[in-house]
């Protein structure tokens, strides 16, 4: 049986992660008025992987293919992504970041980093490292 303190802590984690996600969505338009948080996340993933297929994006973020398709289309129209034929399977396309996409994503990453650093200024280094480890562990599902 689950203990009361554990149940309370799990509710707190859920509430706080939900608040975090809502704040992130709300702040996304400050990074770029035409891009959603989903679009920025897709651009970041494509850059991180130096190219990937739309199905990889959908699997990674647990998104439906039509959502990925709309967001990739917006990124292409803005000149942040291109599609190239996959040399291993000519029926597929690889999404690649453009130089402009890398610049926009880099600027957004610098701004997000500053905001996180500011928010964590009063935290001890050990607490920041533990928090980072816990987030990695949580997102890995372990």
Q: Where are the domains of the chain?
A: 4-140
Residue with tokens 């928010």: 119
Distance CA 20, CA 3 (A): 26
pLDDT at residue 23, as a whole number: 82
Helices (H) and strands (E) in the chain, counts: 6, 2
Residue with tokens 């280094």: 125
pLDDT at residue 21, as a whole number: 83
- Beta-carbon contacts of residue 94 (< 8 Å; ≥ 6 apart): 51, 52, 53, 83, 84, 85, 86
Which residues does the chain have with pLDDT short of 70? Answer: 1-2, 28-29, 31-32, 142
Q: Is the dihedral of CA 55, 23, 142, 12 positive or negative?
A: negative
pLDDT at residue 22, as a whole number: 83
Global confidence as pTM:
0.79
Is the CATH number of domain 4-140 3.30.365.10?
A: no
pLDDT at residue 97, as a whole number: 97
């Amino acid at each position: 049986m689950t203990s009361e303190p554990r149940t309370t802590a799990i509710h707190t984690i859920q509430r706080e992660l939900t608040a975090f996600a809502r704040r992130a969505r709300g702040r996304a338009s400050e990074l770029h008025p035409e891009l959603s948080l989903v679009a920025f996340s897709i651009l970041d993933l494509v850059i991180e992987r130096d190219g990937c297929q739309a199905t990889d994006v959908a699997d990674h973020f647990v998104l439906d293919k039509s959502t990925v398709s709309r967001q990739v289309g917006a990124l292409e129209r803005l000149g942040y992504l291109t599609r190239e034929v996959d040399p291993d399977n000519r029926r597929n396309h690889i999404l690649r970041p453009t130089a402009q996409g890398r610049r926009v994503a880099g600027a957004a990453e610098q701004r997000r980093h500053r905001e996180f650093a500011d928010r964590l200024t009063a935290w001890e280094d050990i607490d920041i490292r533990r928090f980072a480890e816990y987030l990695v562990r949580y997102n890995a599902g372990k």
